[in-house]
Amino acid sequence: METSIKSYAAKEHHQPVKRYCRTLDLRDDPKLIAEYRRRHSQAEIWPEVIAGIREVGILEMEIYILDTRLFMIVETALDFDWDTAMERLATLPRQQEWEDYMAIFQLVTPGSTSAQKWQPMERMFHLYE
């Protein structure tokens, strides 16, 4: 039986991965949120941003939204170092320009890097085998 609850297939990486979960809030403005969503569509996101994400070693990135709250899941190889990768990402072409533009929509300090904007979440439950 089909329900209205959405589900999403997980990408298989054929290697062990680790996951980072981060959150960020958007400004409470429906027009800004609609534009933020549009700017993250496959047709609108800047190719340099996607290339930079891949270049620093991120295997998969998903962003989910509920009202003004964003939740990002990042999957990487086990030897990935978040701080080193984010420092590198901040230096790549158009990355800071993208971050400055996205800050229009986000509740963040102007001039923040991606690593400064997206706050880490703590896993408080895990369904063990």
Identify the pLDDT of residue 2.
61
- 97: domain range? 17-120
- Residue 84 is assigned to a structural domain of this protein: yes
To 10 degrees, the CA torsion angle through 88, 83, 81, 107?
A: -100
In a domain, 9, yes or no: no
50 in a domain, yes or no?
yes
Q: For residues 20-55, b (16+ Cβ closer than 10 Å) or e, as one string? A: bebebebeeeeeebeebeebeeeeeeeeebeebbee
The answer to whether position 127 is within a domain reads no
Answer yes or no: are the C-beta atoms of 82 and 20 closer than 8 Å.
Answer: yes
Residue range 61-76: average pLDDT? Answer: 97
- CATH at 64: 3.30.70.100
For the chain, the domain total comes to: 1
Please check whether residue 126 lies inside any domain of the structure: no
Whole-model pTM? Answer: 0.90
**Whether residue 11 has pLDDT greater than 70:** yes
pLDDT score of 48 more than 90: yes
Task: Give domain status of residue 31, yes or no.
Answer: yes
Other CB atoms within a 10 A radius of the CB of residue 107 amount to 12
What share of the chain has pLDDT > 70, as a percent? 97
